[in-house]
Homo-oligomer: A and B are copies of this chain.
Amino acid sequence: MCVTLGFRIRQWQAIAKCCHQAYNIGTMSSPKRTTIYDVAREAGVAASTVSRSFSDPRRVNATTREHVLEVAERLGYRPNPLATALQSGRTATIALLVPDITNPHFFGTIRGAERRASAAGVTFILGYTEESADNERNQIERLARSVDGFVLAASRMPDSTTTELAREHNLALVNREVEGLPSAVFDNGPGSWQIVEHLASLGHRSLVYLSGPHQSWLAGERWRALRSGAEQRGMTATRLGPFPPRVVGGGAAADAALVAKATAIVAHNDLLAIGVLRRLTERGVRVPQEISVVGYDDIFGADFCVPALTTLAGPHEEAGSAAVELLLEKASPSATRAAPRRVTLPSHLVIRDSTGPAPA
């Protein structure tokens, strides 16, 4: 095969010319894609009419349009999204920026976002920021012209940077709130209170929160809710950490909780909780008899680790799709200039085997 790339046509022709040897060029696709001009010529109309037939059907006579469409079909015409984007500024593309794909937490979000985008005929770009605010910013700058907007999942950027970027870019947030920006978040307050109530009902008088990264907005929200909930129940709440929100973080986190004489541990997320479980097992501490453990997210695996993890579950897919929805709304030409919407999604506690009565 010579070159089947379909791009760099010019070069391809050059190569084809000097190497028409054994290559069966006959089977190659025609070097030039068909454009609106080809369709226009064949249909006996102007290019603009072809364009309109696709992009704004009602501004063209039904009969003409049908004819144009038929010709386009016959010629195998496909609009070139790049040309459309360059001219119109609309790319019909959005990007989702995620801190870390290793974390199953985001799988639901990614899936939901991709689905929603796909359903809207919008192409979906995925970027990882490696937990760094700088990377996040760079990605945004780099992709700016290529997308209509960004969904930032668990963004690590400070509010000020985000606000500043929002002046030039179309942003929507997941699991993060910033004044003036659309966002989809779980109800961290009520959700965390469910955890507190569950623990309180089991007779626990205190809880230890094993915190995630300090730049994490979520960690702050969760801690605030946990503390206020505990206060209301007359329980004491302690924050330890930060710990890396991954399984490996669980070792140090568990040890710290043990030193703090915790009877109930609330981990920043399930990954950390699973790490804690593992460390506790290693050290011969029985869960939940001696200590109870709760996580956040209900990730894949939370139901089959041992003991199965009690965790606060939330509709992650919905969060992803809602954020895309908000972005699309904002980006739509008919966008209302109303205050950006904030969507709050309900979370619920899934009680499994890692929580039990407080030790006597």
Contact = CB atoms under 8 A, between A and B. Distances in A.
Given A89-B9, A330-B5, A126 B124 contact: yes
Nearest to A104: B300
Interface residues of A, number: 70
Contacts of A333: 8, 11
Contacts of A86: 80, 82-83, 86
Contacts of A27: 167
Contacts of A170: 4-7
A2 B126 CA distance: 28
Contact of A169 (B4, B33, B126): B4
A1 B126 CA distance: 28
Contact of A78 (B10, B23, B104, B141): B141
Given A19-B337, A144-B78, A167 B127 contact: no
A148 B5 CA distance: 8
A160 interface: no
A111 interface: yes
Interface string A13-34: 0000001000100011100010
B80 A82 contact: no
Given A83-B86, A102-B107, A145 B5 contact: no
Contacts of A89: 7-10
A97 to B, nearest CB: 11
A19 B336 CA distance: 12
Given A10-B89, A101-B110, 15 more contacts: A1-B180, A2-B337, A3-B335, A7-B148, A7-B331, A9-B89, A28-B167, A78-B145, A82-B146, A101-B114, A104-B300, A300-B301, A304-B305, A304-B306, A305-B305
Interface of A: 1-11, 19, 23, 27-29, 33, 78, 80-83, 85-86, 88-91, 93, 101-102, 104, 107, 110-111, 114-115, 118, 123-128, 141-146, 148-149, 166-170, 180, 274, 278, 300-301, 304-306, 330-331, 333, 335, 337
